[in-house]
Every structure is written in C-alpha cells, then in structure tokens.
C-alpha cells in the first residue's frame, strides 16, 4: 500500500495495521456497521466517513482525514453507493489532475507541489505528500466508471496514452510526476522511475477490464462482460485472454443503441452480461459459440449462436427502472465535475522552507 511519510519522514508505526486501504482487503471478513457516519467494526481499524474516509487512526484512536488516494481502494467497504459517489467526487476533484493522481490534496498543510525542490526540501519529503503516483490512476478511473462517469475517466485515460507516446520512455509510463507544472510550463515533469511496471499495468487493466469490460473470474469459471464505452469509441475490435483460451469482440455504438459481439475460443464458461440500465444476466457458453447483444433504447435482445451460425438460445429484456433512476441520481451528483487544478506554488508552506543539507540521490 501507499504509506504516507509524516513530517519526520517515517511511517507512523500505528498506521501499518490501521490504513483504510489495507483494511479494504479484509473488509468482507468483518461485520460492518453503517450509520450516518461509517464506522467499521474491524479489530484494528475504525474508518469514519464524512466527505471522505479517514486515512488512518492516530495512536490516540482519533481519525486522520488527510485527503489521499488510498481511500479509492477502500470504497468497496461502503454499501451505500450514494455515499461512495459523494466521496468519489470529492477525491477526484481534490486529487486527480489531468496528468494523474496526487498523493495528497493541495488543501493539506503538508502538500508539496514538486517532487524535487531541493532549495526547500529533500525529495523524500514530497514522495508521498503531493507527488503524482501514476499507478493510482487506475483505481481512480475504475471508481468513476463504476458510477457511470465514463467521460471524466476517459479524459484521464486519453491523457495518459498521449503521455506514454510523447514523454519519457515511448510506450511506457513513469512512476511519478510533480503535482504542478514548473513555472512557464503546462505539464509537469516526470520523476522517479521513468518506466514503471505497475503504472503501465494499471493503464492496461482499466482498458481491458473497465472500458472494454472483460473481467475473467477463473475461480468460479465465469467471465463478466461489462463494456463502458464513450462516444470517442464508436467502434472497437479486440482480443483478450481468458484463462487458457481467449475471447474476440466487436463493439459498435450507433444512434440510440449499441451492438456487441463476443466469441470464445478454447474455453467453456458462464458469461455475465452487465450493460448500463439493465439487470445483469447469465449465459452459459461453450468454446466456438458467438454471443450477440443488441441494445436499442430501453430494450436489449441477445442471441447465442453455434459455430455453424445457427441460433442456440435467444432472449430479451427491458431496462430496469431502478437502475436507470440510480444512474440519473449519480449523474446529477457529478454534474460539472472536473480535474483538480494547481494553485500558486508559493501558497504552500513547504515552499518557504530552506533546505541546505545537500541533494543526496
């Protein structure tokens, strides 16, 4: 997990087993209590909800509400999706810049606008206190897509694709960036490792699992197909691994609807189709079969065909009023959402420090 450095540049020892994102791993093991404040009955952590989740507990059991991206990982613990939506918007607008996710909100007193500002502080002081961590882009985009906010997620995803092609190692993504551009520039410097595996892997994960929506569950022998496309993706063809086999797909957006087609190779599995506005449904398939889904307005029709092209199963369903209403509510809550914006660097206290102990490594 991403561990924050406190002013003495060391991890608070009480945070090691009290971090909100750490406990999200175990969230389905413990009983949780939900009130107007979210209090999780976990032996080693209490997470309190207001507009965000507490980052960790202090030694005296009081919550630290420093606004950091760790909470994106803990939202699975919150059953009330409207609370998740509010917290997601707050975190997105405070932490997510057009170039990536900052490790601390600029409203926090210990925020560092630049990873390297040797005249003011050692770079390690900024490492988890403002510096952009590109691998956190993945979970931030995922949370927005889960709430139906594909547009803002796609804007960040597209920016990262351009950055991968034009900055640093071509085709790769760096570990870190400054939170703010240097004076006279409109995009921050790359810092840290210039080619970072988990920055790359999170960009790819979001593409395949959340925009294209292919999420294999090998343990249960199932695959969820939940494409979430934007108008910039009017048509896409791709191939994705599924266990020892693979799936090929063709998606096409059109006025008032969309067409989807998947074909499985060398794998038998249960497909769960999850499209916006409709209740998810399951289709049992065998290798070589082709599933086609057509959405027109509030009606969905599907056909499963064998390798010979003959239909094996057909079905249809209407959009679910509850899902549509919930999405409309989320959309209203995200009206006007935007990226975080840099402030004047001199407005941050750390830029008035004097650092003269040498630049080190």
Q: What is the pLDDT of residue 57?
A: 72
Q: Do 305 and 289 touch, CB atoms closer than 8 A?
A: yes
Terminal-residue alpha carbon distance, the chain: 24
Q: What is the pLDDT of residue 52?
A: 63
In the numeric block, which tokens belong to residue 200? 């790359």
Task: Give the residue ranges of the chain where pLDDT is below 50.
Answer: 1-17, 22, 24-49, 361
Q: What is the number of other CB atoms lying within 10 angstroms of the CB of residue 328?
A: 11
Q: What is the pLDDT of residue 249?
A: 98
Q: What is the pLDDT of residue 141?
A: 98
Q: What is the pLDDT of residue 11?
A: 44
Length of the chain: 361
Distance CA 95, CA 106 (A): 8
Q: What share of the chain is helix, strand, coil (3-state, %, to 5)?
A: 30, 25, 45
Distance CA 226, CA 235 (A): 16
200 backbone φψ class: left, alpha, beta (φ>0; ψ -120 to 50): alpha
CA-to-CA dists, residue 336 to 43, 89, 155, 229, angstroms: 39, 10, 14, 20
Q: What is the pLDDT of residue 257?
A: 95
Full DSSP string of 203-216: HHHIIIIIIS-EEE
Q: What is the pLDDT of residue 44?
A: 32
């Amino acid at each position: 997990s991403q561990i924050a450095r406190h002013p003495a540049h060391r991890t608070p020892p009480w945070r090691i087993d009290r971090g909100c994102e750490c406990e999200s791993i175990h969230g389905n093991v413990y009983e949780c209590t939900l009130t107007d404040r979210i209090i999780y009955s976990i032996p080693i952590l209490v997470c309190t909800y207001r507009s965000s989740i507490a980052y960790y507990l202090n030694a005296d059991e009081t919550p630290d509400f420093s606004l950091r991206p760790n909470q994106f990982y803990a939202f699975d613990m919150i059953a009330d999706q409207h609370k998740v939506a509010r917290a997601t918007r707050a975190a997105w607008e405070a932490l997510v810049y057009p170039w990536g996710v900052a490790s601390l909100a600029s409203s926090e007193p210990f925020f560092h606008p630049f990873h390297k500002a040797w005249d003011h502080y050692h770079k390690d002081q900024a490492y988890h206190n403002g510096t952009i961590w590109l691998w956190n882009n993945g979970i931030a985009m995922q949370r927005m897509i889960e709430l139906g906010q594909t547009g803002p997620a796609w804007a960040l995803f597209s920016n990262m694709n351009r950055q991968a092609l034009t900055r640093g190692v071509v085709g790769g993504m760096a570990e870190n960036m400054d939170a703010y551009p240097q004076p006279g520039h409109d995009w921050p410097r790359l810092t840290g490792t210039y080619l970072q595996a988990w920055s790359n892997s999170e960009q790819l994960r979001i593409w395949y699992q959340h925009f294209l929506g292919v999420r294999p569950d090998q343990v249960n022998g199932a695959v969820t197909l939940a494409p979430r496309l934007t108008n910039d993706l009017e048509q896409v063809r791709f191939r994705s691994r599924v266990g020892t086999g693979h799936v090929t797909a063709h998606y096409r957006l059109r006025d008032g609807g969309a067409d989807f087609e998947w074909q499985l190779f060398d794998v038998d599995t249960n497909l769960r189709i999850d499209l916006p506005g409709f209740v998810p449904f399951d289709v049992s398939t065998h290798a070589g079969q082709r599933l086609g889904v057509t959405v027109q307005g509030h009606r969905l029709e599907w056909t499963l065909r064998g390798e010979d092209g003959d239909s094996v199963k057909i079905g249809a369903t209407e959009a679910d009023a509850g899902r549509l209403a919930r999405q409309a509510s989320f959309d209203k809550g995200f009206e006007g959402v935007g990226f975080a914006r840099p402030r004047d660097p001199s407005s941050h206290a750390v830029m008035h420090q004097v650092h003269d102990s040498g630049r080190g490594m």
